[in-house]
């Protein structure tokens, strides 16, 4: 132990230290400005720029408390916990890490970062709980003001569950999700990954998909009771709608000149059907298949019915789309 000022009680085997302090115990190192430490049990409190470095863990906070019997540490204020064995980073106002129950609870602007060489996942919420099962797989649950960011997908919701075992992300209470130029909504969503690659999103009740065209001048739109959106290379490739299907899209025609490719909107298609499937490319509709007889109408661009230009409840929400800085906001 190295410190400016030290008081040691032989009876209790407790050292109290004041000023910049470094403690080394085996392969573990502890740093702080003041606090106390029981040299027999290993219990202690580190205060002021507190840091702990262990074999696979880094712990930081304004104050750190450690209970070796319960195998718990508590971090308060500017808390940071990195578990290299799980490729996880936890940040928040407070962190409780329970090694016996393999559980971490983060509150106060909580953020969990799941590090992956292909695509790191950030999950932000008021409260986050992460549990590790016997197979060393993670289950992360977030409550209130949830934001999610990775390169393929961004989302907001009231609550979230991410299962590493299932490789699925569950979003609850009217979530909104974005991928490339597509915005998805519904009462609940299940996001499916294969390894770390986005495969499909199931949307339940009041489902919709919006695709921005021509810098927001137009939107291809799709809505219905339930929907399954399929992705390829981060782009929406097809969508299957079951129940009360409604689509609005603006087909285009392309004309090549000697110097450029000219894209022109031909008009607006409005189509109702019980169930339908859309095939897409970069948000452009390439094909429509339907199960029962549809009710469809085409409007030339100069004769579009403004009352039919948008699906019911249309809203485009770029301002709340999470950015890559959600863990440092």
Could you tell me the two tokens for 101?
A: 């129950």
Q: Which CATH number fits domain 174-319: 2.60.450, 1.10.10, 1.10.3470, 2.170.150?
A: 2.60.450
Position 259 confidence tier, pLDDT thresholds 50, 70, 90: low
Helices (H) and strands (E) in the chain, counts: 0, 23
Q: What is the pLDDT of residues 86-121, one digit of tens each?
A: 888 999 999 999 999 999 999 999 999 988 877 888
Of 196, 183, 275, nearest to 236 by C-alpha is 183
Whole-prediction pTM: 0.87
Measured CA to CA, the distance from residue 84 to residue 57 in angstroms comes to 6
112 neighbors 130 (Cβ within 8 angstroms): yes
Task: Tell me the average pLDDT of the chain.
Answer: 90
Biggest alpha carbon–alpha carbon distance for the chain = 92
The full set of domain ranges for the chain reads 174-319
Alpha carbons 226 and 242: distance in angstroms, whole number: 5
Ranking 1-15, 102-116, 145-159, 273-287 by mean pLDDT, the lowest is 273-287
287-298 b/e with 16+ CB inside 10 Å = b? ebebeeeeeeee
Q: What are 305-329's pLDDT values in tens digits?
A: 888 999 999 999 999 999 887 886 5
């Amino acid at each position: 132990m190295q410190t400016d000022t030290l008081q040691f009680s032989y009876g209790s085997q407790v050292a109290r230290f004041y000023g910049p302090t470094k403690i080394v115990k085996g392969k573990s190192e502890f740093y702080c400005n003041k606090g106390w430490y029981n040299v027999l049990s290993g219990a202690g409190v580190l205060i002021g720029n507190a840091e702990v470095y262990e074999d696979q863990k880094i712990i930081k906070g304004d104050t750190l408390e450690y209970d070796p019997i319960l195998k718990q540490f508590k971090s308060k204020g500017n808390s940071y916990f990195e578990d290299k064995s799980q490729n996880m980073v936890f940040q928040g106002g407070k962190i409780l890490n329970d090694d016996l129950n393999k559980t971490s609870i983060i509150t106060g602007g909580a953020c969990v970062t799941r590090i992956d060489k292909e695509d790191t996942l950030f999950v932000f919420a008021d409260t986050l709980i992460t549990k590790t099962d016997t197979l060393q797989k993670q289950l992360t649950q977030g409550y209130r003001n949830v934001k999610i960011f990775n390169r393929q997908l961004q989302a907001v919701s009231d609550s979230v569950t991410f299962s590493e075992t299932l490789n699925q992300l569950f979003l609850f209470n009217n979530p909104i999700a974005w991928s490339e130029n597509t915005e998805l909504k519904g009462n609940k969503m299940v996001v499916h990954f294969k390894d770390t690659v986005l495969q499909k999103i199931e949307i339940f009740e009041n489902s919709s998909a919006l695709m921005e065209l021509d810098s927001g001048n137009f939107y291809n739109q799709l809505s219905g009771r339930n929907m399954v959106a399929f992705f390829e290379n981060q782009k929406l490739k097809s969508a299957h709608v079951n129940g009360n299907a409604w689509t609005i899209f603006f087909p285009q025609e392309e004309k090549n000149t000697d110097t450029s490719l000219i894209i022109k909107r031909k008009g607006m298609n409005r189509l109702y059907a019980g169930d339908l499937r859309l095939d897409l490319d970069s948000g452009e509709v390439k094909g429509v298949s339907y199960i029962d007889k549809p009710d469809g109408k085409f409007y030339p661009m100069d004769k579009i019915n403004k009352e039919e230009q948008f699906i019911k409840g249309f809203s485009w929400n770029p301002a709340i789309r999470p950015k890559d800085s959600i863990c440092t906001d």
